[in-house]
Amino acid sequence: MMLATDNLRYTKIPLNNGSGAIPALGFGTLIPDPVATRVATKAALEAGFRLLDTSERYRTEKEVGEAMQEVFKEGKVKREDVVVVTKLWNTNHRRERVKPAFEASLKKLQLDFVDLYLIHTPFAFQPGDEQDPRDANGNVIYDKGVTLLDTWTTLEGLVDEGKCKAIGLSDVSLEQTKEIFDAARIKPAVVHVESHPYLPEWDLLNYCKKNGIVLQAFAALGHSMEPNLLEDPVITAIAGRVNKTPAQVLLAWAIQRGTALLTTSKTPSRIKENFDVSTIPEDAVQEISDGIKSRVRFNAVTETGVPGFIPRGK
């Protein structure tokens, strides 16, 4: 069966605190090479992506800013059409460090506000300029002097000031999400976690849906790691049946089950392919949800706060 092109790729999910809606289909910029980051970000905007995800820890904010400026200057896309997401790093959780870190991100992005600001992980690291602080034995140095809720309430202040439209959490468990949701004056708009058919996070998704939080799934294609989701027999069989690529099937599944997602590529043809998603039949969505039993977490960041996909020391 050949699927007709439909509007799935333009799906938007409303945010719970009155700050608009975000595109379900988002482009991540965790790309180690700066030139490749700039080229890929520009290609993503040209392909149609309208959500860009970056972070101070990825060290890609400057390139994302430059790519956006180029595209804005060409008049193809306007600032207000793009949802820009960046994240506070673990070494900046203390109250007095949040605003300077946020302002530094804005400056690199060449923006005067971001649409969504996330706490990158729930782990506070020793404050300072070293993003990966380690003791003599190579163990991460944590900061016991600040709680996740302290950091959250500081982010609420940024929303009050109009510096960011919405705030959210990343790499959190269901328990941590509940704790912040219950205590927050401004509720988390987004919870950004690894999720794909090998890590569907149904409990967290159900909780988010019930409470008006968008679950934004990163590593939607399994980060190209083994076991390779793109080669899973359930996915490849559906892809053959509906005449789409395995990547397009995975992205459609993510949108159709009600999550936002992030996918990344430095390859222009794949960037276009990943935006060219259309609805897959409901029985295919079910088959992926029920028929894939493997469970794999590719990124161990939720255990330690150390980002799994970033080369150590970068």
Ligand X SMILES: NC(=O)c1ccc[n+]([C@@H]2O[C@H](COP(=O)([O-])OP(=O)(O)OC[C@H]3O[C@@H](n4cnc5c(N)ncnc54)[C@H](OP(=O)(O)O)[C@@H]3O)[C@@H](O)[C@H]2O)c1
Q: Please provide the DSSP assignment of 225-240 as one string.
A: -SS-GGG-HHHHHHHH
Q: For residue 89, which amino acid is it?
A: W
Taking CB under 6 A as the criterion, the residue among 219, 234, 238, 288 binding ligand X is: 219
Among the listed residues 207, 285, 273, 286, the one whose alpha carbon sits nearest the alpha carbon of residue 244: 273
Nearest residue by C-beta to ligand X?
A: 28
Q: Does residue 123 bind ligand X (CB under 6 A)?
A: no
| Gyration radius from the chain CA atoms | 19
Beta bridge partners of 260: 216
Taking CB under 6 A as the criterion, the residue among 270, 277, 288, 292 binding ligand X is: 270
Q: Does residue 294 bind ligand X (CB under 6 A)?
A: no
Is 207 annotated as catalytic? no
**Active-site residue (options: 58, 117, 142, 198):** 58
Q: Does residue 299 bind ligand X (CB under 6 A)?
A: yes
Among the listed residues 282, 289, 308, the one whose alpha carbon sits nearest the alpha carbon of residue 132: 308
Q: Does residue 221 bind ligand X (CB under 6 A)?
A: yes
Taking CB under 6 A as the criterion, the residue among 139, 147, 206, 224 binding ligand X is: 224
* CB neighbourhood size of 63 (10 A): 25
Q: Residue 221 Cβ, how far from ligand X at the closest point, in Å? A: 3
Beta bridge partners of 199: 196
Q: Tell me, residue by residue from 233 to 252, as one string, x for binding to ligand X by CB under 6 A and - for no binding.
A: --------------x-----
Question: Residue 60 or 154: which CB sits closer to ligand X?
Answer: 60
The H or E element that residue 45 is part of is: helix 34-47
Q: Does residue 91 bind ligand X (CB under 6 A)?
A: no
Ramachandran angles phi, psi of 51, nearest 5°: -135, 125
Structure tokens given for 48 = 């149609």
Catalytic residue annotation: 58
Catalog residues that contact ligand X under the rule CB under 6 A: 28-30, 53, 120, 170-171, 192, 218-224, 230, 247, 262-267, 270, 273-274, 299, 301, 307, 309
